[in-house]
Structure formats: structure tokens, C-alpha cells
Amino acid sequence: MFLMWIIPLLLIGLVVYAISGNNLVNAFQPASNRACPQCKQAVQNDWKTCPHCGQTL
Ligand SMILES: [Zn+2]
């Protein structure tokens, strides 16, 4: 029966769409655009503390 095949395919398509959607969101947030929550200065993604105010990131 045709519907027996189309339903799981639709579910797989939704999962793939959700995963790729999250990746697109991450792609629009490059690491260099991260900001300190304390002083709002730009900080690198791999920095553990903010060099401007000492806030732990
Ligand atoms: Zn800071």
C-alpha cells in the first residue's frame, strides 16, 4: 500500500529538515561574533574568560 511507505518517508524528511535547519542557524552565528554576557564586548569562541572584564565565559 502506497501510504504505508510515504508516512515513514515523511517522518525521515522532517527529521532531516529539522537537523539541517539547526545547522543553518549555526552557520549564521560565526564564532567570532560571540559577545561577553557581562560587558557585551566581542570575544573569541575558545576564550575561557573575557579579556575586557574578566567574566568567565
Ligand atoms: Zn566582558
Residue ranges per domain, the chain? 2-31
Q: What is the model's pTM?
A: 0.42
Give residue 48's pLDDT.
93
Give residue 38's pLDDT.
95
| Residues surrounding ion ligand 1 at CB below 5 Å | 36, 38-39, 50, 52-53, 55
| Mean pLDDT in residue range 33-40 | 91
Average pLDDT, the chain: 81
Cell of 11: 517522518
Q: How far is the CA of 16 from the centre of ligand 1 (A)?
A: 37
| Distance from C-alpha of 44 to C-alpha of 52, rounded to nearest angstrom | 12
| Mean pLDDT in residue range 25-47 | 79
Radius of gyration of the chain (CA): 20
HEC per residue, 12-45: HHHHHHHHHHHHHHHHCCCHHHCECCCCCCECCC
